[in-house]
Amino acid sequence: MTSGSELEISLLGPFEVRRSGDPVSVPAGGQRVLLAALALAAGTVVPVETLTDQLWDEQLPESPRRALQQIVVRLRRSVGEAVRTGPGGYYLDVDRSQVDALRAEDLIRRADDSEPRTALTQALMLWRGTALGGVGSDALVRQHMARLTELRLVAQERLFDLDLRTGDAARWIADLRDLVGVHPLRESLWERLILALARSGRRAEALATYEEARALTVDALGTEPSARLRALHLDLLGEDETVAVQRPVPHQLPASPQHFTGRTTELTRLDELWQAGSRTFVLHGPGGVGKSALVLRWAARLAPECPAGQIFLDLRGFGPDQPMEPGTALGMMLQAVGVASRSLPPTVAERSALWRTQTADQSLMVVLDNVRDADQLRPLLPGPGCTTIVTSRNSLRGFAVREGASRYSVGTLSVDESQAVLTAALGSAAVSNEPEAARQLAELCGHLPLALVVAAQVVADDPDRSIAAAVSRLRSHQPRLDVLADTLDPSADPRQVISWSYTALDDDSRRAFRILGLHPTPTVETHAAAALLGRSVPATRQLLDRLVAVHLMHPVGSDHYGFHDLVACFAAEVAEPDDEALRRMTDWYLATLQVSRSTAYANPALRPATPPPAPVSPRAADGLNGATEWYLRSEHAIVEVVRLAGRRGWHESAWSLAALLGDFQSSYAHSAQQSVTSGIAREAARALGDPDKEALAHFLSGVASNVGGDPVAALGWHRRGLEFARSAGNRRLAATILAAMGTSHQATGDLAAARSTCEESVRLARGLPEFPLRLAHSLVNLASIESESVDWCDAGQEHLREAIEIYRAQGARFHVGLALANLAQVATTAGHPEAALEYADEAIKLVEGMEDGLVRPTALRARGGALRALGDVDGAAVAWSQVLGEMRFTEPQRAADLERELAGLSSYRA
């Protein structure tokens, strides 16, 4: 196949393609139009919709996407695999220097920096006639001909200006006459022709040429020539060879966007910084967050403070075009303050110095929008009396430090501000009629102003103007960015806006972004990212910080980084399929979960630890608090990794992850998540043909059902699990399942079956001296059942005391607390409220400072019961009220029972 590096595409004249210098035949029609369209955007994805417009204009075929695919296939036969598929479209994998139109553009831009005459001459030599000759696309001509023509004229004018300064203007007279004949209303050409004649000693011809230009302007436009051309005429009449034009007062600020709302906090802060004396401001944030809109609103308010005028320049730092060169930007700004184009110095350093001189004593406002980096920005800073306002996706931290600029991070909108944007776009009636749908729409747009405005247009285009319908489309449509796409205006297309930040990255950062897009959740821990990337943790932090610097990611608390929702959608689109990376990530979660479970529950891991591909999270091994905190923060990601392992047939990993999650999920009543992971574990165990694993997987499903409030279903899962455990000869697991069955029988109200089953569990566990914790757990389960009957309470207390001794000997502090909390409950039932208070208080003290969702609630329930028994009704109310809020989420049925007991305390007061 042909590599892109071998191709050369010529568009500045008759259409030509060469491969390694030899002509390549590209048939006229669709192939030629497609290649030209892709070449004019070399290296950048062109959306499918844009390409179909350029190919067929308004006469689309029945299936334009399919027709485009067929043309792509045929074009690849002609030019090879340089035609590549990208997110939402296609791109040509060639360097800009391989397309004459783009090479000319780059040469003209470079002419501002060094060797201007050489660069301009080389650029003009690339034109071989009328651009886009033989391409055969009216749409391409409409979209690009004016720009290509302007490029050529700019190069010719700049080359003339160089000769004008060296006194070699006469040789341009004939060319300039030809050019004004083709472009009669371009006053800059008339100005140069008049100057060339005057500098060549042909003053009379120069005056006559002015009259010719004036007559054309008056006849065609009904107005006099520009102030610059009239000033040149006056200078000629006075026989002065220089042009003296009064300093203009520029007013270049665009109007602020129509639907701008909110941002009160940001505007107030900017006002405060201005009043405190700041004069250079950097507003940074992700694409589409509304930086430019905010700046335009604030600049309009600030304009009266800048009587010398306002200059606005889009530096194209992130976008479909190449960033504006500093020399070009300086030339535009110098001309805006009255410096004639022929008087512009040739180098960036000279223009920058002249710019500072021209603005040194001016109260001028300079808005530099969409800055790429500090190198582009520094030469453009005006004199000290001016106000400079910069927007960028780059955080520009170093620039702010060196230049003393005030930096302000522009974030997404608040919930209220998002609603205000939708109200402004759709009307108050539409939003008030569907308030919940409007809230969901804002969430799906990530509270990003650009996405909100686009989503509002989606609603407006719906014949029913239904916000709920738009929400449904965004939820069900994959990828979501397709729904928000705007193929006619890339600057209003969230996918394109995000892609400009992505394409601006270096190769290493782009690859990291694509691999991070494989992570199953938008937030990733640094150590997990290191495993995914196959890098060290310090190297990973550097990469993540690079993505943060251009607002493709953002820090999320300690040592975590996150994608904005829509950036996460884009990252998933460009993610590289990489089994090795996903394996590393899965192994890392498995190893870290092992450490976390062992730390939290003082239990050995379910299988020998394998060396993780990156260091485990330090929090996972940092005591009970750290381990549970790590689990709670990572649980959603781990569940998604279990799903991923299941989908990929990594049965051993899927089962192990689900098994390690079991204690955490049951402790925190995460029954819905455990139903998912245990189901995947069952499928994995069945595929592995391992009865031990099948037993545990069914046990976990039973736990999930019991915690979720369905003890009957739980008993079914447990019975099946017990069959597998017994067939495998696994007495320890059989004891575990029997204890859980006792809890499920207890929940159905069958206390006799519950006690009998738990007693069997204890008997089995006593025969397993190598697993003391299993015996302790079974004793606690048995005691829990015995606590419900006065006749069994004494036995329950003895069983709990025995369990506590085992837990203390094993250093299982959490379980000591849990057993003490249970002992407090049993003691209350047995009529020993004073002892119950002691046990409850000791349990609460043991878990003080721990991340705990089980011991403290249990102990507080027992404490309330003991205080009620002692006649301290107010104390009981306080204890139960403290725990009720937590129980509503973890144990809704018990919470309802406790609420009834709390309400019934009034009878004890009587």
CATH number at residue 50: 1.10.10.10
Residue 307's pLDDT is what? 87
- For 127-131, 261-265, 340-344, 378-382, which range has the lowest pLDDT when averaged over its residues? 340-344
**CATH code: domain of residue 765:** 1.25.40.10
Q: Are residues 380 and 465 in the same domain?
A: no
In whole angstroms, give the CA distance from residue 132 to residue 138: 10
Other beta carbons within 10 angstroms of residue 158's beta carbon come to: 23
Of 539, 559, 577, which residue is a domain's last? 577
Give all strands of the β-sheet with 406-409 in edge-to-edge order.
310-314, 365-371, 387-392, 280-284, 406-409
CA atoms within a 13 Å half-sphere pointing along the CA-CB vector of 17: 25
Domain contains 565 = yes
Taking CB atoms within 8 Å and a gap of at least 24, the contacts of 198-207 are 198/236, 198/241, 199/164, 199/167, 199/169, 199/170, 199/241, 200/169, 200/170, 200/173, 203/236, 203/239, 206/236, 207/233, 207/236, 207/237
Alpha helices in 303-347 (DSSP H): 326-336
The domain boundary, picked from 337, 372, 406, lies at 406
What's the number of domains the chain is made of? 6
Distance between CA atoms of 740 and 699, rounded to whole angstroms? 8
Same domain, 303 and 337: yes
Residue 165 lies in a domain: no
Same domain assignment for residues 565 and 604: no
> Quick one: 278 and 382 in the same domain?
yes
Map tokens 């006619």 to a residue: 488
533 or 488: which leads in pLDDT: 533
In this structure, are 419 and 468 located in the same domain? yes
pLDDT of residue 607 exceeding 60, the answer is no
User: DSSP readout, 730-752?
Assistant: -HHHHHHHHHHHHHHHHHHT-HH
Residue 1 has pLDDT above 50, yes or no: no
Q: Are residues 561 and 591 in the same domain?
A: no
Residue 587 shares a structural domain with residue 520:
no
Q: How many other β-carbons are positioned within 10 Å of the β-carbon of residue 54?
A: 23
Give a three-class secondary structure readout of 225-289: CCHHHHHHHHHHHCCCCCCCCCCCCCECCCCCCCCCCCCHHHHHHHHHHHHCCCCEEEEECCCCC
Same domain, 777 and 676: no
Structure tokens at 474: 């965004």
The average pLDDT across 12-39 equals: 91
Whichever domain contains 393, its CATH number is 3.40.50.300
Task: Report whether pLDDT(747) > 80.
Answer: yes
Q: Which of 154-163, 466-475, 762-771 has the highest mean pLDDT?
A: 762-771
Q: Is pLDDT of 464 > 60?
A: yes
On whether both 587 and 552 belong to a single domain, the answer is no
Helix (H) or strand (E) holding 409: strand 406-409
Tell which residue, 156, 152, 160, has the closest CA to residue 129.
152
- Domain membership of residue 778 (yes or no) is yes
The mean predicted confidence, pLDDT, of the chain is: 87
pLDDT in tens, 820-876: 999 998 888 888 899 999 999 999 998 887 767 678 888 998 898 899 888 888 888
State the DSSP H helix or E strand holding residue 698, giving kind and residue range, or none if neither. Answer: helix 691-707
Q: Are residues 369 and 473 in the same domain?
A: no
Whether residues 537 and 642 share a domain: the answer is no
Tell me if 248 is assigned to some domain: no
Fill in the DSSP letter of residue 305. G
Task: Identify the band that residue 888 occupies on the pLDDT scale cut at 50, 70 and 90.
Answer: low
Q: What is the pLDDT of residue 892?
A: 65
**Spatial separation of the C-alpha atoms in residues 688 and 684, rounded to whole Å:** 6
The residues, ordered by sequence, that sit 6+ positions from 63 with a Cβ below 8 Å of its Cβ are: none
| Neighbour count for residue 200 (Cβ, 10 Å) | 16
- Taking the C-alpha atoms of residue 321 and residue 606, their distance in angstroms, rounded to an integer, is 56
Q: What pLDDT score was predicted for residue 240?
A: 43
Residue 823: inside a domain: no
Tell me, yes or no, whether 585 lies in a domain: yes
Report how far Cα 497 is from the mean position of its chain's Cα atoms.
12
Structural domain that includes position 509: 505-577
The backbone torsions φ and ψ at residue 89, rounded to the nearest 5 degrees and listed phi first, read 180, -150
Are 606 and 640 in contact by the 8 Å Cβ rule? The answer is no
**Which distant-in-sequence residues (6+ apart) come within 8 Å of 617 by Cβ?**
525, 527, 528, 592, 596, 630, 634
Residue 817 in any domain: the answer is no
pTM: 0.64
Query: Is the same domain home to 477 and 526?
Result: no
d(CA 590, CA 648): 16
Q: What percent of the chain has pLDDT over 70?
A: 94
Spatial separation of the C-alpha atoms in residues 319 and 497, rounded to whole Å:
7
Residue 10: in which H helix or E strand, if any?
A: strand 7-10
Query: Does residue 170 lie within any of the structural domains?
Result: no
Q: 74-109: per-residue pLDDT in tens?
A: 999 888 888 998 888 899 999 999 999 999 988 887
Of 722, 751, 782, which marks where a domain is finished? 782
- Cβ within 8 Å of residue 754, ≥6 positions away: 742, 743, 744, 745, 746, 785
